[in-house]
């Protein structure tokens, strides 16, 4: 994999994008970056330099699309991600589900969403056991060593029972599973309130796509294995669904998040996600808040019908998002957004915007 310097003039569709929307998404992270620069990750996008660019953006007067494009062109240098000599990548979509829930267990609501356990630890590379997959970031301490955390099957069998970790209860284990996949949700409580929950850690086991398993086993055709098709099959076959879902050993923990009703869910970067402008990336490789140009010529996500060529911001991450040119586009909240997100499985190219030194811009 290499990052190939590419002039803005060679980025197809660059001048036609709504750069003011991308700038708004970038500016959403300014206060967060002011507190601490994002951690520089393996691709080398410098977090301190991103913070300086954000500080410069904060003092701009909002002059519309042209001014926003001029800002990105002044403070950033594009570098196309190439793998084996080609700009090959892949994007999917995700959304914020909205489902009914209860704060107490009842006969109707008996499937829990769990808070993060106090024995779950994030593992530094230096202390990861040598026989573990380098992508595993979480585990637990047992006596004087680090061991794997409980997986989905063990937790569903009661490994965390009795510890008071239940954040809320859902009526349907399939809905709970999709909330795990999406990493956030709006929970409609019985008294009419909305409880927002977001990602707060995972078991550490590798993510397994059960949609891919369903296709490989001829349970569903490839065309039918989008989010809506898979969800319908799981709900129609509850006994088989339980075993299939448990083959994804990754298990997600949640926390209550404070966000305005009009805002998107809080991403791992700590700010509300912007529909169509926030991207989940591989957090081991990409630095949060990096602007990334995504081109997926076979993808459209709005009524214009135009190919997806858009500047997005690295605001989030996900268990399934692994690799330098792998991304997950946040689409929005609710069932309609879920149907759109579930249909996004498209080849894409990605170009990261590397911040220049502000004093040399």
**Each residue of 156-182: pLDDT tens digit?**
999 999 999 999 999 999 999 999 999
Res 92: pLDDT: 95
How far CA 187 is from CA of 6, 92, 98, 293, in Å, comes to: 44, 24, 6, 33
Please name the residues in contact with 328: beta carbons below 8 A apart, sequence gap of 6 or more: 91, 92, 93, 94, 279, 280, 281, 316, 318, 320, 321
What's the mean pLDDT when you consider all of the chain? Answer: 92
- The pTM assigned to this predicted structure is 0.85
* pLDDT > 70 in the chain, percent: 98
pLDDT band of 61, cuts 50, 70, 90: low
Classify burial at 352, counting beta carbons within 10 Å of its beta carbon; exposed 0-12, middle 13-18, buried 19 or more. buried
Query: Cβ neighbours of residue 348 under 8 Å, at least 6 residues apart?
Result: 89, 90, 91, 294, 295, 296, 299, 308, 325, 327
pLDDT 10s digits, 233-244:
999 999 999 999
Residues 85, 323 contacting (CB under 8 angstroms): no
Q: Specify the pLDDT at position 236.
A: 97
Distances in whole angstroms, Cα of residue 217 to Cα of each of 9, 125, 212, 244: 46, 36, 9, 11
Q: Give me the mean pLDDT over the 70-93 stretch.
A: 93
Is the model's pLDDT at 123 over the cut of 90? no
Q: In whole angstroms, what is the distance from residue 39 CA to residue 103 CA?
A: 36
Task: Write down all domains in the chain, each with its CATH number in brackets.
Answer: 2-91+266-360 (2.40.40.10), 94-256 (2.40.240.50)
Average pLDDT over residues 280-299: 96
Measure the CA–CA gap between 329 and 236, rounded to whole angstroms: 28
Q: In what order do the strands lie in the sheet with 252-256?
A: 111-114, 166-170, 98-102, 184-188, 194-202, 252-256
- Residue 301 banded pLDDT, cuts 50, 70, 90: confident
The pLDDT, as a whole number, for residue 360 is 41
Q: Comparing C-alpha atoms, which of 182, 186, 203, 206 is closest to residue 117? A: 203
Ramachandran angles phi, psi of 52, nearest 5°:
-65, -40
Q: How would residue 358 be classed by pLDDT, with cut points 50, 70 and 90?
A: low
What's the CA gap between 350 and 319, in Å, rounded?
A: 19
Instruction: Assign 361 a pLDDT band (cuts: 50, 70, 90).
Output: very low
**Rg of the Cα atoms in the chain:** 21
pLDDT tens digits, residue range 94-113? Answer: 999 999 999 999 999 999 99
Average pLDDT over every residue of 4-19: 96
The residue behind tokens 């310097």 is: 5
**Burial zone of 33 (CB within 10 Å; 0-12 exposed, 13-18 middle, 19+ buried):** buried
- For residue 249, give every residue at least 6 positions away whose Cβ sits within 8 Å of its Cβ, in sequence order, or none: 151, 152, 153, 203, 205, 206, 208
Q: 51, 34 in Cβ contact below 8 A?
A: yes
Structure tokens at 123: 């593992």
Q: How far apart are CA 289 and CA 279, in angstroms?
A: 10
The percent of residues above 90 in pLDDT, for the chain, comes to: 76
């Amino acid at each position: 994999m290499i990052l190939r310097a590419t002039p803005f003039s060679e980025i197809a569709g660059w001048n036609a994008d709504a750069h003011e929307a991308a700038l708004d998404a970038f500016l959403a992270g300014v206060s967060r970056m002011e507190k601490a620069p994002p951690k520089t990750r393996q691709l080398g996008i410098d977090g301190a330099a991103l913070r300086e660019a954000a500080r410069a953006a904060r003092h701009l007067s909002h002059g519309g699309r042209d001014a926003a494009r001029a800002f990105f062109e002044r403070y950033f240098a594009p570098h196309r991600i190439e793998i084996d000599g080609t700009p090959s990548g892949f994007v999917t979509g995700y959304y914020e589900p909205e489902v009914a829930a209860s704060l107490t267990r009842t006969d109707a609501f008996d499937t829990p969403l769990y808070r993060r356990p106090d024995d779950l630890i994030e593992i530094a590379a230096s202390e990861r056991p040598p026989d573990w997959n380098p992508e595993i970031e979480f585990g637990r301490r047992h006596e004087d060593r680090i061991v794997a955390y409980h997986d989905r099957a063990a937790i569903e069998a009661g490994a965390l029972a009795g510890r008071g970790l239940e954040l809320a209860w859902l009526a349907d284990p399939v809905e709970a599973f999709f909330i795990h996949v999406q990493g956030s949700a709006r929970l409609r409580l019985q008294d009419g309130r909305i409880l927002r929950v977001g990602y707060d850690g995972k078991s550490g086991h590798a993510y397994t796509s059960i949609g891919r398993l369903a296709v490989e086993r001829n349970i569903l055709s490839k065309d039918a294995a989008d989010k809506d098709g898979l969800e319908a099959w799981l709900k129609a076959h509850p006994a088989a669904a339980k075993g299939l879902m448990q083959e994804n050993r990754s298990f997600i923990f949640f926390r209550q998040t404070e966000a305005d009703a009009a805002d998107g869910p809080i991403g791992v970067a700590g700010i509300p996600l912007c529909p169509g402008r926030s991207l989940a990336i591989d957090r081991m490789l990409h630095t949060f808040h990096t602007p990334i140009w995504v081109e997926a010529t076979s993808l459209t996500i709005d009524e214009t019908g135009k190919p997806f060529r858009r500047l997005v911001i690295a605001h989030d991450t996900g268990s399934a998002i692994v690799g330098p040119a792998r991304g997950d586009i946040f689409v929005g909240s609710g069932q309609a957004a879920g149907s759109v997100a579930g249909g996004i499985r498209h080849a894409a190219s990605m170009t990261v915007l590397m911040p220049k030194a502000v004093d040399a811009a």
